[in-house]
Amino acid sequence: MAYDAADRLARLAMRLDGPRGRLPALFALTDPDRTPDPLALARALAPGTGLILRTFGRPALEALAGELASVARARGLVFLIAADPHLAARCGADGVHWPERMLAQAARARFPVMTASAHGPGAIRRAAGLVDAVLVSTAFASASPSAGRPMGVFRLAAAARRARVPVYALGGIAPATLPRLSGLGLSGAAAVAGLSG
């Protein structure tokens, strides 16, 4: 699979409002079904992009995580492991991405970069002070099995304005939808399927 939209998404995400500091404008997330070749994805990402390896509880990802960490270092990517701080530490990842249900564990973790998923205002509030950014889902209609009803730009903008943590839009992010997020106070975007155009 070609990740031919990755560069375009990264450029479009740079036009969002920030501030980001050490955070990238775009996070690429892996998915067991929609990212058949995570290494090809990592090699296709522009320097400065974030990459989140989502493990979904699958065993035997140690080798893949190590390879991705090497590619990320060589390409200047921000590399996070989802839901597994031990694997993140072992492979030398930059940090951890916490699913919303694991947000409380972020309070005990120490990594240079930590993000979390959030599916509503309560989770966004809980994340403030625990993580560097939240990936708020679902921004637009998405084919993801975990996608809920889309928030749309107005609710997403309201959530970003009230948040005390940088907000990234996730869900249905593609070159056609990402420009609609400009000027809404979002710090960036995150994508899965949209990376392959």
What does the pLDDT look like over 94-140, one tens digit per residue?
999 999 999 999 999 999 999 999 998 999 999 999 999 999 998 99
pLDDT, residue 145, reads: 58
Question: Looking up tokens 């996730």, which residue turns up?
Answer: 170
Taking a C-beta distance cutoff of 8 angstroms, is the pair 175, 194 a contact?
yes
- Rounded to two decimals, the pTM is 0.94
More confident residue, 56 or 180: 180
**pLDDT tens across 8-35, in order?**
999 999 999 887 788 999 999 999 888 9
- Look at residue 56 and give its three-state secondary structure: coil
pLDDT, residue 171, reads: 92
User: Strands, E, within 32-180: which ranges?
Assistant: 50-53, 78-82, 95-98, 113-118, 133-137, 167-170
Confidence of residue 150 (pLDDT cuts 50, 70, 90): confident
| pLDDT above 60 for 147 | no
Q: Count how many residues are written for the chain.
A: 197
Domains of the chain: 6-191 (3.20.20.70)
pLDDT, residue 197, reads: 66
CA distance 4 to 77: 17
pLDDT, residue 144, reads: 63
Taking a C-beta distance cutoff of 8 angstroms, is the pair 165, 127 a contact?
yes
Taking a C-beta distance cutoff of 8 angstroms, is the pair 184, 38 a contact?
no
Secondary structure element (H or E) that encloses residue 44, with its range: helix 38-44
pLDDT, residue 163, reads: 95
**pLDDT tens across 57-78, in order?**
676 689 999 999 999 999 999 9
Segment 157-177 shows an average pLDDT of 94
Segment 74-102 shows an average pLDDT of 97
Give me the chain's average pLDDT, please: 92
